[in-house]
Structure 1
Amino acid sequence: MTKKKGVFSATPSEPLKIAEAVEQYVAQGGVINVVPEGESGEMACETTKIAQEMDPEAQMKAKLEQLKGLVAKGAGVSALQYSLRMNRKEIKRLANEHGLKILYSRPVRSRPARSRETGVIDDTVAGHAMHYSSLGYTAQEIAQLLDLSVRDVWNIGKAYRFEFKSPAKIDTAADLSSDLPEPEK
C-alpha cells in the first residue's frame, strides 16, 4: 500500500488574527459596513425589494414601455411572459388597454413541407437515370442532368431496387483500390 505524503510550503505561514487584519485593512483606506446585531446582510436586500414594490405605478409604466418595444420587434406572448414576468392574461389585458396588437410567433420554416407521396415515376426517366448511373454518374449529377431533385433520384432507386452511386461511395472505392497491390505482368 502506498502512503500519501502531504505537500508542505517552504515558508510556514503564521495565522493572522482577525482584529489585526481588520485594523490593517482600515489603515489602508478600506471601509467596513457594520451590520447591527440581530440582522443579516440579506435583510438589506429585502429592504430594497420592498422599496421597489412600493411604487407599482412606476413599475407598470416601465413594463408598458418594455411591452411596446418588444411588440414592435414582433415578440410573441411566450417571449413577453419571460421578459415581463407576467402571465398571459395580464399581458393581453395590458396590451388591449393600450391598443397594442401582439403577433403570435410562428416557427420559421426554411422550405415548404414535403409531401409523403412519391409522384408517378416515369419508366423512361428511370431508365435514363439507371443508364447514367452505369456510366459512373452520381445521384447528384443525375438529378442535375434530368432536372430532378436528389430525393426523386433516390426514390427511383427504391422503386426499381437499384442503387445509385454517391460521392462518398466513389471515394471509398478509390481508396480501397489504391491500397491493393498492382497486378503482376
Structure 2
Amino acid sequence: MSDAIQHGAVQGTDDAALRAGIEEVARLQDELVAELVGLGTTMSNAMDALPGFVPCGHAFGVVIEGLAASVGRFEPDYLRDLTAAVRARSEHVSDHRGVAQGMPMNVRAGLGSDDKVAAMRAQLLASLQGIAPYAMRAMELGVMSDELDVTLANTLAALGREELGAKELHDNLGRVSEAARIAMTFAV
C-alpha cells in the first residue's frame, strides 16, 4: 500500500505573536504604499518638468513590484528591502532629473471614513494593486507600455494629493480602468 510518512515537529504560535506578525506586515505594506506614492509623485514631477520624458523601465519595474507586494507579499525583510528600493529610486529620479522628490504619504490612513471621496481613494488604490500582477507578468514577457506605466505613476501621485476631489478621482479611475485593460492584454 503506502509507506509510513513521518512528520517533523510542528511548531505553533500563540495568538499574540500571530497578531504582532500580522500587524507588522500591515504596517510594512502601508509604508511601502506611502513610498510608492512618493515615487509616483517624483516621476510625475519629472514628466511634467521635461515634456516627452518618460522614466526608465527600472523605475516602473519598482512601481509595479511594489504595488504587487503591497498586497501579495508578507515577508517583513522583503517588504523592508523593497521599501528602501522604492525610496532610493525616488531619490535617483529626483537627483537625475532635477525635480522635487515626492514625499511618502500614508494613503490608507484616511480610507476608513464613510465619505464618498475616501471610498473612491480606496477603490483607486485597490485598482492599482489589482493591475500589478498583470503588469508584472507583461514585464516578464518583455512587454512594456508607456501608457500603462505613466498611468501608474500619475495615479500614485494623485493619491498623494490630500485635496483630491471626487471628479479627479473619477477621472483617475477611468484611466486606471484603461490601464488594467492594457496590462491584462499584455499579460497573455
- TM-score between the two structures when normalised by the length of structure 2: 0.19
- TM-score between the two structures when normalised by the length of structure 1: 0.19
- Compare the two structures and name the one with the higher helix fraction: 2
Q: Which has the higher contact order (CA 8 A, sep 6+)?
A: 2
